[in-house]
Amino acid sequence: MLDERRAIKRRKFGYYMRVIDNGTQELVGYLSDISSRGFKLDSNKRLTVDKDFNLRLDLTSDVSDRSFIVFAARCRWSVPDSTDPFVFNEGFQIINISTGDNRVYQHVVEKYGIPDNSNL
């Protein structure tokens, strides 16, 4: 199990949103939990830890009139999923995001993030 070093409480993600590599247009994974500074993806492949990615988060119309936001994030950890042997859980830290995209991202956190009370 990973040591918990997170200062910001994470929220389980109540809606499976796609995260795309903005350079290759390939699916990286689906959001499974989120915080104001990072997120966890469920992915079908193991990603390189400490690698930076230029990502695109596809949005729904109830979040924004834009169809996506773009930001840079660093993969901080990668582990096999505990229940599905074909899935990896990937932890990301957002390292660069524009002010406008960050406003939309924070709205996504508030709208779809479900507080995880298991750590209380």
What are the boundaries of each domain within the chain? 11-61+70-97+110-115
User: What averages of pLDDT result for each successive group of 10 residues across the chain (120 residues)?
Assistant: 46 70 96 90 96 95 91 98 93 97 92 62
Q: Give the fold, CATH level 3, of 11-61+70-97+110-115.
A: Thrombin, subunit H (2.40.10)
pTM of the entire predicted model: 0.82
Three-state DSSP string of the chain: CCCCCCCCCCEEECCCCEEEECCCCCEEEEEEEECCCEEEEEECCCCCCCCEEEEEEECCCCCCCCCEEEEEEEEEEEEECCCCCCCEEEEEEEEEECHHHHHHHHHHHHHHEEECHHHC
